[in-house]
Chains A and B, each alone.
Chain A
Amino acid sequence: MVKYILKKIIYMIVTLWIILTVTFFLMYSMPGDPTQASAKVLPEAVQKNLEAKWGLDKPLGEQYVIYLKNLIHGNMGESYMTPGLTANQAIEERFPASLQLGLQAVAVSLILGLILGILAAFNRGKWIDFVTIFIAILGVSIPSFVFAALLQKYAAGGIFPIIGWVTEGMGLADIFKYTALPTMAAAISGIATYSRFMRSSVLDVLGADYILLAKSKGCSRFQIIWRHVMRNAITPIISIVAPQIAAIVTGSFVIERIFSIPGLGRYYVDSVNGRDYPMILATTLFFSMIFIICMVGMDILYAVVDPRVRKSIIDGN
């Protein structure tokens, strides 16, 4: 087990290094550079000074080595656009909003998606099944920003503010008011996906012989669902949930922008536009790390749910 985790950590570091390297060189091959990204046209002398300050005048290879050295010491550099702001600070400041939005959206989409999927499977061909199909088609085909805009137009204005986010010292009621619409907007595609997957997964399990055996033992419907269906039906879902969690936690920048949420996703896009190299690298690395952690989490969860997977991990296969 320890060997397994160690192996995973080593893989993670190697993966991060590859992502870092690819991003680094891709970033520099983008047209434009930080000194020309701002609206003002800077005099040539200022440009030269800035390049010297940021180390952009050195050869690319040397810049890469310097960056790696700093990174090992935990220093991800300072923003070009906002002088004085380190990348670490930026992430610390910006990530909590993204994380909260992401986790809320994941929780809502998982709970609603799984419940809808189970209901649809148990009522195949009845109205609730069609409602689920309808929601799923809408959720998959309508982009989240359209949904966000619709929510702003029709649901906001009364209790729910059109834009804005939680600030410090807010009560639970206010937190709910500010987060409800963005959470719904971010959750809709997840609800759609999970409900469809869960439905087919539950139907698969319901057709299995062991469900018939459970029934022939005298289990009630609820006992069958809870003890025999859920655990077996959820295994295939885990593999689609993990990457989606990562994506939703890190990547809801469209929603963050529409609802003016001070999140990291929005900041990421801004730094790409501003050619803010240290920030691009820092956020890319951070997002990749979250993604990888989610995948490792998925592996562990698999092992928890499925004894066969657990055995193969313990045996070291």
Chain B
Amino acid sequence: MSEHLLDIENLKVSFHTYAGEVQAVRGVSLKVNAGECIAVVGESGSGKTVTSKAVLGLIAEPPGEIKKDSRILFEGKNILDFTEKEWRNFRGKDAAMIFQDPMTSLNPTMKVGKQIMESILLHNKISKQEAKERAIELLRQVNIPNPEDRLNQYPYEFSGGMRQRVVIAIALACNPKLMIADEPTTALDVTIQAQIMKLLKEIQKKNNTAVIMITHDLGVVAGMAEYITVMYAGCVVESGKVEEIFHNPQHPYTSALLKAVPNMENENKSELQIIPGTPPDLIMPPKGCGFASRCRYCMGICKEQSPDFTHVSESHKAACWLHHPMAKKVLGTEDIRRVLENE
């Protein structure tokens, strides 16, 4: 019924804590086509990691809870209905994940080669020797020198960047159709970041793997992703092609986020723009738009009712009341345009 590889529809995830129910993800919809790279951008606590974990069934229930009307379709099948066995077949083979911190995401007491082979052997009926050869090939693919020797080393013998390459090799082990990279470069220094991003891009092109790149750094995604989805307080606020988001942001949060990216070429040495305030408490999420309390253009309606998506183009949509015809009457079309074009 759908030509999308991954189709997340109205995903709602809550966590039950002593303080109350934290509604971490509040109705996220997201589509990924085969071989395409999309970026999910948002600040800490915006629900991007929870969304990605839900795709791999890694949300522990309890304390987590995926609401009943949520759907995640992978090749047309709702993976939220998977049995434990189906999940095990799905994880690693159809979809794989790259985690944020390579220093902690490898088992410290297991040889690197064995950790890669484990994934291969789980999903393929091949001998250990063949798995080993495949592991060497994978290490070569992620540009680790002397893969034959490196195979027999432990994670502590690798640097941070090298470990992240190993994690990527593990994710690639079974040629997954979808790879989720959860802030893969956050824990690395800048030069290594660039190398890892380049590697991920190469792999995506070569293997035709779909990639969901989760990040809070817009600079990271510019060269890599085709589409960007911006999340805030557990909701998608804007999504569109990279050029559309970068050059024509339609949500005040997106434009504020873009202005918060440090610019090395800025000769005026102006201060870095920040977004004042803090995200709302998701135990008691706001009735209206999640960004209302921090938004410079907040109107009465913003606090009362959450906005629907307005399509700016076929691929570009934003959830903001400023796009409502009534807002244009209140503020004037010129004002709105100035607002949305960052004044």
Contacts and interface: CB of A to CB of B under 8 A. Distances in A.
Partners in one complex: yes
Interface of A: 208-210, 212-220, 223, 227-228, 231-232, 235, 305-308, 311
Interface residues of B, number: 31
17 contacts: A209-B100, A209-B105, A210-B104, A210-B108, A212-B105, A213-B97, A213-B105, A214-B107, A217-B96, A217-B118, A217-B122, A218-B88, A232-B108, A232-B109, A235-B109, A308-B156, A311-B156
Nearest to A231: B109
A87 to B, nearest CB: 44
A307 to B, nearest CB: 4
B222 interface: no
Considering residues B91, B92, B96, B107, which has the most beta carbons from chain A within 10 angstroms of its beta carbon?
Answer: B107
B58 interface: yes
A306 B91 contact: no
B101 interface: yes
A209 B104 contact: yes
B123 A218 contact: yes
Contacts of A208: 104
A210 B90 contact: no
B110 interface: yes
Contact of B93 (A209, A218, A308): A218
A231 B110 CA distance: 9
B154 A232 contact: no
Given A218-B123, A219-B118, A213 B109 contact: no
B170 interface: yes
Contact of B122 (A218, A228, A307, A308): A218
A219 B170 CA distance: 13
B99 interface: yes
A142 B56 CA distance: 47
**Interface of A: prevailing SS:** helix
Which 7 pairs of residues, A with B, have the shortest CB-CB distance? A218-B92, A209-B105, A218-B91, A217-B92, A307-B154, A209-B104, A217-B119
A306 B107 CA distance: 11
Given A217-B122, A219-B118, A220-B88, A228 B107 contact: yes
A307 B91 contact: no
Contacts of B302: none
A212 B107 CA distance: 10
B64 to A, nearest CB: 13
A307 B93 contact: no
A210 B91 contact: no
B170 A217 contact: yes
B58 A215 contact: yes
A210 B156 contact: no
Contacts of A306: 108-109
A208 B104 CA distance: 7
Nearest to A232: B109
Nearest to B101: A209
Contacts of B170: 213, 217
Contact of B109 (A217, A223, A307, A311): A307
Contacts of A223: 122
Contacts of A220: 88
B107 to A, nearest CB: 4
Given A218-B88, A218-B119, A220-B88, 17 more contacts: A209-B101, A210-B108, A212-B105, A213-B99, A214-B107, A214-B118, A215-B58, A216-B91, A216-B97, A217-B122, A217-B170, A218-B87, A218-B91, A218-B93, A218-B123, A306-B109, A307-B154
Considering residues A208, A220, A306, A307, which has the most beta carbons from chain B within 10 angstroms of its beta carbon?
Answer: A307
Nearest to B85: A220
Given A217-B118, A218-B122, A210 B106 contact: yes
A265 to B, nearest CB: 36
Given A216-B56, A218-B93, A210 B105 contact: yes
Given A212-B105, A217-B122, A218-B119, A227 B110 contact: yes
Contacts of B156: 307-308, 311
A294 B105 CA distance: 33
B273 interface: no
A229 to B, nearest CB: 10
A23 to B, nearest CB: 40
Contacts of A215: 58, 91
B264 to A, nearest CB: 32
B167 interface: yes
Nearest to B111: A307
A127 to B, nearest CB: 16
Interface string B304-322: 0000000000000000000
Contacts of B173: 217
A208 B109 CA distance: 13
Contacts of B119: 217-218
Interface in B245-295: none
Nearest to B62: A125
